[in-house]
Amino acid sequence: MLALSFGTAPVHAAQTAPKAATAPQDANAPAVKKSKTGICHAAGSSYYGRTLNFTPFATMAECVKSGGRLPKR
């Protein structure tokens, strides 16, 4: 058996494991953020932390009732 190495570095689990969605660290953070484009992002969702210009809501239902919509992803 012949093993060839083409200079690939070993891959460690820490490098390939997806980051888990986490709840907001601040206890006063809103449960749902409605972006200026009208998308409702729940705490722990992939875009929650990236949404900086938003209207806060206590629940997803309140956000949607205000005219927001659920994210497509």
Q: What is the pLDDT of residue 43?
A: 95
The DSSP annotation for 10-73 comes to PPPHHHHSPPPP---SSTTS-SEEEETTSBEEETTSTTTTT--SEEEESSHHHHHHTT-B----
> Does pTM surpass 0.85?
no
- Whether the pLDDT of residue 10 is over 70: the answer is no
Q: In what order do the strands lie in the sheet with 32-35?
A: 40-42, 32-35, 54-57
Instruction: Give residue 20's pLDDT.
Output: 46
Do 40 and 64 meet the contact criterion of CB atoms below 8 Å apart? yes
| Total Cβ atoms within 10 A of residue 47 | 13
pLDDT at 17: 47
How does pLDDT run across 15-59, given as a tens digit for each residue? 554 444 444 457 788 999 999 999 999 999 999 999 999 999 999
